[in-house]
Each structure stands twice: as structure tokens, then as C-alpha cells.
Amino acid sequence: MTPARFLATVLGFAALVAIAIGCFTAVIDPYLIFDSPRRPGLDAIKPAVESHEPLMKAYQSERARARTVIMGSSRFDIGLDPASAAWPASLQPVYNLGLIGGDTPTGLRYLRNMLQLDRYSDEARVLVVGLDFELFLSRPPQVVGTSALGTLEDGLSDPGQRLAVLADGSRNPDRWLGVFKDYLAATLSLTAIADSVLTIYANRDPTPQLDMEADGHFSEGRYRHEIDRVGVAALFYRQDEATLRQFRCPKRSLEGAGAGMEAVRQLLELARSRQIKVYLAIAPSHAQHLDLLEQLGYWQDFDDWKRQLTALTAQAAASGTDVQLWDFAGYEPYATEPVPARGDGTSRLRWFWDSVHSTTVLGDLMLARMFERPQSPAGYGTLLTPGSIEARLARVRADRQDYLRRMPESAQVAARIVAVASPCAGSR
């Protein structure tokens, strides 16, 4: 065989292998890029969502048809189910555009990417936007977020390249390059091959798995598995440890909230121009997390943040935006559900998976309250306006004092977590 013929044979074989690999990964479609059919027992569950959700939702959201869009971090990504019966029929179908660790500027970028599609000029009518206090605090630049379940990676390429719009809403001239990178990496990279194999394995494993559903909902499967494996208290402890690591040393500042507040302002302006109704919702937290914020010295910032949001919302409403701001971050009975003791592997909570991630059961109550459904729970959630904000803040403080009296052991957990933590660098 001549050298030229040998080289041609090798290259031909390599091309066939590449084609076979590309077909395999495209059919399994672990990142939901190609919209391949999801086959039960083979690839219906997509566990790669844990590390590639920004990639998945960039493409999945463009295929979705929705009258209502959910935005926010993992708290709403997990806690609000687009398929819930709590949604009024007039607002369905619903798509969950939430992202693990997703702040408001990131969510706004993804929303603009959806709205640039012609069909959304008539379809999108309601936004439900989850707001996390912690994501408005200034911190070192990051592209990843952490949760009790692990780490969020950026995806296979810069999400800014793959979206059709730039951060200011203008057209992205380099999108073709981002899409090309994604397609190439999603078919021929070692990561895609490994995730395709893991996808098949996960679909044959009876253990509950992470998954992204067709409506964008981040499934609760892993939480169920983790609780079965280590218990509720362990998940609470891990989330509290993550909060401690992120927000204790150095202490963050609300003065750096300008980017977040500006993104909220731009979102409300976009909604006004599109005649979209907006429900802003301050995310619920378990009392143990609220106590931890107080122990870390953030309570005054927490109150001031709510005041700033109230003022911004009132200003937008006066300018013609149809918007409501709801506060679910208080010491209502749902948030004070006792956490099982360490080592208790059988007890379960109804309202929370860990100290910041609520169940869809609580999410349904939030929806019922905001949309004034018949099953709306009395006393849960407060509509914040300039006339109600101070009374609400005083009510939360009073509820906290009542909680401290009624459940002193539970209330001491956050204090113990902070007390045993290593000193911050440079402290005495």
C-alpha cells in the first residue's frame, strides 16, 4: 500500500468514526441542543442539566411556546412547576427560564433572547421573576454558582456567544460562531461522549435523577435521592456551609447592588414596552437561613434591599408598567417547619428541601397567592407598596422574635454555625 493510499484510508476511517460518534451524541442529545425525541428507558432523562443548564436553556427556550415565563435562580427553577394546576388557564402554557445561580442581569439576557423570536411578540404576556437577596450583594466576579447539590459550570462555550442578542438587547453578530462551537462540542467532544453514555446509564438507574423537563423545570429528583441517602439535616447543613463560605469572608455589600437593580429596572421597562405583566417575587427561605443572614450581619441590608425594590417597582408602575412586588421571605409557619435532627434519615419536610430551596408544594401556594386563586393561603406573602413596606418589615421582625421564643433550639442553629466557623483572614 502506498503512503498516499494509507493516509487516505486512515483519514477515511477517522471520518467514519467521527460521523458515528456525532450521530450517537446527536441522537442521545444530552444537552437538548438538537431537540431529538426523548425515549423512556434510553434518554428521556437528561442528568447533564446539573452542569450545562445555561447551554440547555439557550436552545430549549427558543423552541418553547409560552404565555408565561418564569425567571430567577435555582430557587424558582426548582420551586415553581410550569405544569402546576395553580397556574390560571389563561396564563398557560408556562416555561421556566430559571437558571442555577442565575442573577437578574443573566435572566434578562436570556429573556431578551426569547423575545427576539417573532412568535413571542404575541404570546408572552406574564413574567414571574424570582429575586434572591444574596445575588444583589457585591462579590468577586464569578461565572459559577454553588448549591447544596454541587457546582454550576458555564457550559460548553461562552453563553454570551450563543445567544441571539447582546447584553444591551442588540443583535449578536457573532452568534453563528457560538452556535458552531456548541454543535461541535455537543457532538464530538469527550465531554459530550461521556455525558451521552451517562445519560443512557441514568435512564436505566431506578434512583431519582436530575432532569430538565420539556417546560424548563429543573426536576426535584436529586433532592429526593439525597434526602433518602443522607437525610434532610445534612442538606440544610451543606447549604448553610455554602452560604457561610460565600458571604462571611469578606462580608458583601449592598452598595454593589447597582447592576442588579439596573437589570430589574431594564426588565420592567422591557415589560412595559411589550405590554407584559410582571410579578416580582422575593424568594422564600427557611427560618434557619434567615437566622444565618442575621448572624452574618445582613439583616439591615435585607430590609434596605426590600425598600429599594419597593421604590423601584412603584416608580415603574407610575410610568405605566403593570407590575406587582410580593415578599415571601418571612417567618410564616411554612418557613419555621422544624428541621429533623442529624442522623434522622426518615423524616421529611413538606415545604423545603434545604434552607433556601422550597418544594413545588410551597411554590403552588405562592402562585395561588399572587394570582388570587381560591386556594390562596391567608396571611402568606405580602404585596409590597410604599404604603405597606414598613409595616411588612416590622411584621417580619415581630414574627422573628416570636419564633425565637417558641423555638429557641431551632433558632440557635445559625448562631452555632457561625460560632464554630474559622476566623476570617486578618481577624483577631
Q: Which architecture characterizes domain 68-149+210-419 according to CATH? A: 3-Layer(aba) Sandwich (3.40)
Residue 122 has pLDDT above 50, yes or no: yes
- For the residues 128-150, what does the mean pLDDT come to? 68
Residue ranges matching CATH 3.40.50 in the chain: 68-149+210-419
The pTM assigned to this predicted structure is 0.90
H helix intervals, 116-251: 120-123, 159-162, 175-188, 190-204, 221-230, 232-247
Residue 160 has pLDDT above 70, yes or no: no
Which of helix, strand or coil describes residue 257? coil
Which cell numbers hold the place of 382?
405580602
The rounded mean pLDDT for the chain is: 88
Question: Which amino acid, residue 86?
Answer: A
At residue 31, φ and ψ (nearest 5 deg) are -110, 10
Residue 143 has pLDDT above 50, yes or no: no
Residue 193: other Cβ atoms inside 10 A: 16
The pLDDT tens digits of the residues spanning 263-297 come to 999 999 999 999 999 999 999 999 999 999 999 99
Please name which of 262, 298, 346 lies closest in space to residue 134, comparing C-alpha atoms.
Answer: 298
Give the C-alpha separation, 126 to 144, whole Å. 28
The answer to whether 114 touches 97, Cβ cutoff 8 Å, is yes
The answer to whether 26 touches 59, Cβ cutoff 8 Å, is no
- Percent of the chain predicted with pLDDT > 90: 60
The pLDDT tens digits of the residues spanning 178-236 come to 899 999 999 999 999 999 999 999 999 888 888 899 999 998 888 888 898 899 999 99
Residue 136 has pLDDT above 90, yes or no: yes
Please name which of 307, 17, 136, 377 lies closest in space to residue 9, comparing C-alpha atoms.
Answer: 17
CA 266 vs CA 205, 296, 316, 354: distances in Å: 44, 31, 10, 32
The pLDDT tens digits of the residues spanning 61-74 come to 988 889 999 999 99
Please name which of 33, 107, 43, 48 lies closest in space to residue 74, comparing C-alpha atoms.
Answer: 107
The pLDDT score that the predictor gives to residue 332 is 93
